[in-house]
């Protein structure tokens, strides 16, 4: 979906965010989005490890 934005589209998005939120709130917004992405990645990797652990347990049971 967002793969075809390109440089001009990215500049328009940044300028739009600057106009909507203002220069003072933009760093706060970026920090909040960064924290949200980090938490999401932690959750996804936790779920992936649980799934892989479950598969490993099933494989060990089948081997016995």
Q: Is the pLDDT of residue 4 over 70?
A: yes
Phi then psi dihedrals of residue 7, to 5 deg: -65, -45
Q: What is the pTM of this model?
A: 0.56
Q: Is the pLDDT of residue 3 over 90?
A: no
26 Cβ neighbours under 8 A, 6+ residues apart: 17, 18
Residue with tokens 């940044």: 14
Model confidence over 27-63: pLDDT tens digits? 898 899 999 999 999 999 888 888 887 776 666 666 5
């Amino acid at each position: 979906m967002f793969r075809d934005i390109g440089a001009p589209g990215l500049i328009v998005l940044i300028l739009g965010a600057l106009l909507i939120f203002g220069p003072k709130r933009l760093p706060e917004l970026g920090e909040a989005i960064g924290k949200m992405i980090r938490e999401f990645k932690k959750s996804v990797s936790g779920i992936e490890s649980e799934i892989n652990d479950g598969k490993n347990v099933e494989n060990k049971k089948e081997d016995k």
